[in-house]
Amino acid sequence: MQILITLLLAVMMMAGLFLLLLGGVGFVQNKSFFSSAPKEVRDAVPDTKPERFKGQHIVGWIIIILAFALMIGAIVIGAVMGIRDGLSFWQLFGRFLIMLLLLKAYDIGFFDWVLLCNAGFNFFPRFYPECKPVLGHYLFGYNWKTHLAHVIAFFPISALIAWICTLF
């Protein structure tokens, strides 16, 4: 049962990450949301874009706030349920590590491979047509050092959250 809860919480975080991307890229449409994109993509997109409809940027910020609430909520729910169920430090550590590693796998597999490297999916070009010529399979792995740093950081982060949970 605990693994099912952990998987559902990871999916909750994935939904939050997607909403974060959608809110930033699709609605707020500010180049600062492309800070982790490849240089070719950053160079192709304009600094800002005019609103397609009145209140578009506000909608984007609301989506971003909801995205953060989903992701933080998944961690809080995982912690509260773990404490309630009397999970040990190692069980909590495993829960949070699995959640973060699945989130990273989603980031690499869905965001990088499907949305960024397969322009045919048309996510980024739908909002930024000027970036379509620079998208392609050759971009996959452009940020492997950042992904590796995140994976390494997930171990102490998971340990810290698990330790905090054991204090309750």
The predicted-structure confidence for 88-115, as pLDDT tens digits, reads as follows: 999 999 999 999 999 999 999 998 888 8
Q: For residue 119, name the pLDDT band (cuts at 50, 70, 90).
A: low
Alpha-carbon distance of 75 to 12, in angstroms, equals 10
Q: Whole-prediction pTM value? A: 0.90
Least confident of 37-51, 52-66, 78-92, 100-114: 37-51
Domain ranges of the chain: 2-166
Res 120: pLDDT: 58
